[in-house]
Amino acid sequence: MIKKMIISNIILLSIIGLLATGCGKKEEPKEANKPVEKSAQATKFKITAVKSSIAEESFQMQVAVGIVKQLGYEVKITNDVGYEVAYQTIADNSQSDDVYFMTSSWDPLHNTKIENAGGTTKFKKFGEYISNCAQGYLIDKKTADKHNIKYIDDLKKPEIAKLFDSNDDGKADLAGCNAGWGCEKVIEHQMDAFGLRDTITHNQGEYSAIISDTIARYKTGKPILYYTWTPYWVSGKLTPGKDVVFLQVKNSAHPVVKSTKLSNGNDFGFAVNSQKIVANASVTKHKDITKLFELIKLDVNDISGQNMLMSKGENKEAEIKNHATKWIETNQSKIDGWIKEAKAAK
């Protein structure tokens, strides 16, 4: 497993490098819901991890849950829920003695969701749990090079858009983003802002199915256009700079942030995000837990390596939990320091 994760880490590091230089189910029973070890201390309050419905975000949640257990607490995990339900659940418990937290709050992508659910009076957002989460539009490199396609605006030309037409309606087919994730609002905003409605169709549905069809199309030698993000397994299958390239935008147009331009002047249309732990505002009653949430960090490349294992079939809940357990074992000395500092804050 470690070898596989190292390979995927190299792939993801290349993506961050590209961005810096200008390229950019039927599950088994959830073991996490079983009674925890007897060593976990009995408390007068409950700790609940709110689990997002995106399977590839389970790993970071399981890692955080495992570390909280080492602090000495029992942790329950909810069933899969969409982001809106997750944020509302946390907001509804903003003054509770109990702790409700989610580990996949995308910043700045989800900032509007948090504000709509009550903002800082309801939520406590912590530092960067996972940094350097990139997003953007990509096309296959062969077509990009042949037709000198560099910007999403280039697809306003009917003859260019038609290259990516998979259903013979004359419009490019964009493998897009699920409703409710947040990225779909960015895409929809840019479809209007860049005047792309007449030449691009934003295909939405189950992303894993849509992107699988896109990869199959690529394997037959046909042009592809898709949205994706990191950490995720897609960039392990279609490597940016080698198989595909990021498209840029000519000017920033984003519903949440004013500018998506990078420090080097390039603009891929999406802000580089962080995934943060967000909890109910009253979590600050528990100083040790609050401190722990401030301290823990997870490398984006470790998640991408784990996601690659999922794409190869290791995607059952028990397997994901095992991946998290192995990560914790590998990083135990670092975790010991976090635990010590958290306990000192109590």
Q: CA 124 to CA 292: how far, in whole Å?
A: 13
Number of helices (H) and strands (E) in the chain: give both, helices first. Answer: 13, 10
- CATH 3.40.190.10 range(s) for the chain read 2-133+274-344
Whether the ω angle into residue 223 lies within 30 degrees of 0, i.e. cis, is no
Per-residue pLDDT at 21: 45
Q: How confident is the model at residue 12 (pLDDT cuts 50, 70, 90)?
A: very low
Q: What is the pTM of this model?
A: 0.81
Sorting pLDDT into bands at 50, 70 and 90, what band is 41?
A: low
3-state secondary structure of 102: strand
> CA 148, 151, 157, 159 torsion: positive or negative?
positive
Structure confidence at residue 44 (pLDDT): 87
Quick one: pLDDT at residue 189? 97
The CATH class that applies to domain 135-246 reads: alpha beta
In CATH terms, 2-133+274-344 corresponds, of 3.40.50.800, 3.40.190.10, 3.30.565.10, 3.30.479.10, to: 3.40.190.10
Mean pLDDT across the chain, nearest whole number? 90
Do 280 and 123 touch, CB atoms closer than 8 A? yes
pLDDT surpassing 60 at residue 38: no
User: Tokens at residue 234, please?
Assistant: 């897609």
Question: Do the beta carbons of residue 230 and residue 270 sit within 8 Å?
Answer: no
Question: Omega of the bond prior to 240 within 30 degrees of 0, cis?
Answer: no
Model pLDDT for residues 210-252, shown as the tens digit of each residue: 999 999 999 999 999 999 998 999 988 999 999 999 999 999 9
**Tell me, what DSSP letter sits at residue 174?**
E
CATH 3.40.190.100 region(s) of the chain? 135-246
CB 178 within 8 A of CB 55: no
- Burial (CB count within 10 angstroms: exposed 0-12, middle 13-18, buried 19+), residue 291: buried
Residue 84 — pLDDT band, cuts 50, 70, 90? Answer: very high
Taking phi over 0 as left and psi of -120 to 50 as alpha, with beta for the rest, 69 belongs to: alpha
How far is it, in rounded angstroms, from Cα 137 to Cα 176?
A: 9
Q: What is the pLDDT of residues 117-126, one digit of tens each?
A: 999 999 999 9
Tokens of 178: 């699920």
* pLDDT-derived band at 264, boundaries 50, 70, 90: confident
